Chain A
Amino acid sequence: MSVRPQPHPVGPKPPFWRDRAKRALIFQVLLIAAVAAFLLYIIGNTQANLAARGITTGFGFLTNTAGFGIVQSLIDYSSQSTYGRTFVVGLLNTLLVSALGVLAATIIGFTVGIARLSPNWLIARLANAYIEIFRNIPLLLQIFFWYFAVLRTLPSARDSLSLGEVFFLNVRGLYLPEPLFESGFGLIPLTLGIAVAASIALVVWNKRRHEATGKRFPAGWFSLALILGLPLLVLVATGVPVTWDVPQLTGFNFRGGITIIPEFLALWLALSIYTASFIAEIVRSGIQAISHGQTEAAQALSLPRNLVLRLVVVPQAMRVIIPPLTSQYLNLIKNSSLATAIGYPDLVSVFAGTTLNQTGQAIEVIAMTMAVYLTISLLVSMFMNWFNARVALVER
């Protein structure tokens, strides 16, 4: 006897709340409705509140005169400038302290991270102590420490600490000599450009030759010599067309030279030292993530130690290091907004602080400030995705 396959019994259609597709649709429609209702409620309240306070919305205030000065500005700025210009000044100051902070944090972080792996017990312990101390203390506290406990207690201009009567450090900041370029100096950037172009050509040629013949040529050292040597040669040949404007004590203050305000110094020090402790941990774990088999295999090919590092360990470690490293850079940029606590004129301080208080345009100002940070983090994560796609292991 054979069993005939019975056609599957078709029951009544399930109710719509048991149908997954319909349920998803209903759920999403409800979500949109809820979000829209929430937004409408908020917008309605905001309009009522703004009307009650007599605030007109819009970005017209950006062309009004700001009427306050800013202690540090990379572009021309005076109290006659507009609020739009304060925005740009603040943005540039944020970018300045972030860029220099990233640079210093990278140098300190890589040094400490490598020192942490040193076979020397004492050096490894010291590096570990640095990491554990600085990453477990709030950044704001570190900024206050450098600003109020260190830089604010420095002597006055008369009793400045000086280095060779050229660099001066006092309670008003750090004074550096400023180079003044005379005519004929234009040749030097030009030769620098030529040297860089020649080095790139050299490196490309070397790589092609290496791939074709297997012969190596120390292109790195030659490029370094070219980039440093050629402009230096021209500098000497043209009779050093640079004079230094050394700061001079006149009355109660210094004149001339470059002044670095203490707010900048405090913020920069704290940001670099704090972020460096995280970078050091990233570098350490990145190098440790390379399996021992890799180094052993490279040694078995009798590669010398420096080539093992350069060709085997570092390229693989960088793949592990760079993604968390960029997110630390992003953190540093966002943390630079703590400038407002000590009065360094960054974006949040001059725009979301002073400008907001003067104009009362809370929504526009906060939205613009947030948009800047969002743009930066979007750009960085785009770079990250590009980088990850480029270095990803080619798997089957």
Chain B
Amino acid sequence: MTIQEKMLEARPAPKSTVGPVAWLRANLFSGPVNTVFTLLGLYLLYLLLTPTIQWAFINADWIGTSRDDCSREGACWVFVNARLGQFIYGLYPGSEIWRVNLTFATFAGLIAWLAIPRLPYKRWVAVATLVGFPVLAYFLLYGGHFGLRVVETHRWGGLMLTLVLAVVGMVGALPIGIMLALGRRSQMPIVKSFCVVFIEFWRGVPLITVLFMASVMLPLFMPTGVSVDRLIRAFIGITLFQSAYMAEVIRGGLQAIPRGQEEAAAALGMGYWKRMGLIVLPQALKMMIPGIVNTFISLFKDTTLVMIIGLFDLLGIVQAALSDSRWLGFALEGYVFAAFVFWVFCFSMSRYSQYLERKLHTGHKR
């Protein structure tokens, strides 16, 4: 009888369960049905990808200045190239474009600061983003002070207008949404029913009717002779619409905070606003960030609707460029470019919100 005195080395796993072949067998060809599905999937992929790659890359024209440079069968990216400035800045005067760049560079910096978990002073940066930045953006983009010349809003357009609309809608909707959400949870019956009616009204109608309302009814509501800028009308419509959705997200976050937190704060003698501002909201807001990012994504996509009331956001300006007689027939290129820009923004934001959700869940998961 032999006694094993040393620990044996672990044997390698059987050849049939590791390596690429085993992976293929387990994930793609595990049975007759799966094999058929895999082959069908491959065929579908072949059908979709080959013409797309041929059109978008292999047969495409990239360099040139006019449509005559597009002689090949594939996509004519020359069109997008020639119009790129307009697609991004609208009709903003060329010599003033640095103002737009500076505004969005500042915004990107602030957002990056907020998004990266390691960096300190989050609260002050958040205040700067929500309060300081809109003021700075107004002075930079519109001008009229500090020696900057005024750029009328009808010259704003393209991706810049899309971003402005989304950010204004968001920054405006957040405080209104917080008030509405607190009001909806209030003990006071009139305040509560007012908030419920307000929220359900805006959530029940399509954004397009809200924009129609803002553009045709708002001028009627103002004192005679007062005219409201078309962009401001869109801001008002989008902010009211968005605040209702925001209120529901915030209400969800408030509900997730245990009642004991508020009761403990009340036991310490805190008043309503102190309890909310120092105890409940800071905890709730943290949980709400994924939801807020998600509503921001849908707002970002919904800003395309402003083209129906005559503003030229990214989609609107692409659509307008398509009817230029010098560049007829490049609808596909224009839409693919706009879709790509929207997709990059929305996809990266949704990935960020998923990451946050995973991060926030670690403490609560049972």
Contact = CB atoms under 8 A, between A and B. Distances in A.
B108 interface: no
Interface of B: 27-28, 30, 34, 37-38, 41-42, 44-45, 187-191, 194, 200-201, 203-209, 212-213, 216-217, 219-224, 297, 301-302, 304-305, 307-308, 315, 319, 322, 331-332, 335, 338-339, 342-343, 346-347, 350
Given A24-B187, A24-B188, A138-B315, A119 B34 contact: yes
A362 B214 CA distance: 11
Given A46-B220, A139-B301, A348-B208, A144 B343 contact: no
Given A138-B315, A145-B335, A45 B190 contact: no
Contacts of B200: 377
Interface stretch (A120-128, A156-164, A195-203): A120-128
Given A28-B190, A337-B206, A374-B205, A362 B301 contact: no
A362 B38 contact: no
Interface of B is mostly: helix
B304 A141 contact: yes
Contacts of A46: 220-221
B301 A138 contact: yes
Given A45-B222, A126-B45, A337-B206, A148 B331 contact: yes
Given A28-B189, A362-B217, A363-B217, 19 more contacts: A28-B188, A52-B224, A118-B37, A119-B27, A119-B30, A122-B27, A122-B45, A123-B37, A136-B342, A138-B342, A144-B315, A149-B331, A334-B206, A334-B207, A337-B209, A370-B205, A373-B206, A374-B201, A374-B204
Interface of A: 24, 27-28, 31-32, 35, 42, 45-46, 48-50, 52, 118-123, 126, 132-133, 135-142, 144-145, 148-149, 152-153, 334-335, 337-338, 340-341, 348, 352, 356, 362-363, 366, 369-370, 373-374, 377-378
Contact of B347 (A136, A140, A363): A136
A370 B204 CA distance: 8
B187 A348 contact: no
A386 B69 CA distance: 63
A141 B342 contact: yes
Interface of A is mostly: helix
B28 A120 contact: yes
A308 B34 CA distance: 21
A337 B44 CA distance: 33
A369 B304 contact: no
A140 B34 CA distance: 37
B208 A337 contact: yes
Given A370-B209, A374-B205, A378-B204, A356 B315 contact: no
Contacts of A120: 27-28, 30, 34, 37-38, 41
A123 B41 contact: yes
Contacts of B332: 145, 149
A260 to B, nearest CB: 22
Contact of A140 (B187, B203, B304): B304
Contacts of B224: 45, 48-49, 52
A133 B343 contact: yes
11 contacts: A35-B194, A123-B38, A135-B346, A145-B335, A337-B208, A337-B209, A341-B308, A363-B217, A363-B220, A366-B213, A377-B200
A137 B339 contact: yes
Contacts of A337: 206, 208-209
A35 B315 CA distance: 38
Nearest to B223: A45
**By CB atoms of chain A within 10 A, which of B27, B208, B221 has the most?**
B208
Nearest to A42: B221
Contact of B206 (A48, A50, A145, A335): A335
A46 B343 CA distance: 42
Contacts of A141: 304, 315, 335, 338-339, 342
Contact of B219 (A49, A142, A348): A49
B359 to A, nearest CB: 18
Contacts of B302: 138
Contacts of A356: 212, 216
B308 A49 contact: no
B331 A366 contact: no
Contacts of B27: 119-122
A136 B38 contact: no
Contact of A348 (B190, B204, B212): B212
A383 to B, nearest CB: 14
Contacts of A140: 304-305, 307, 315
Contact of A136 (B34, B305, B315, B346): B346
Given A126-B44, A148-B322, A45 B220 contact: yes
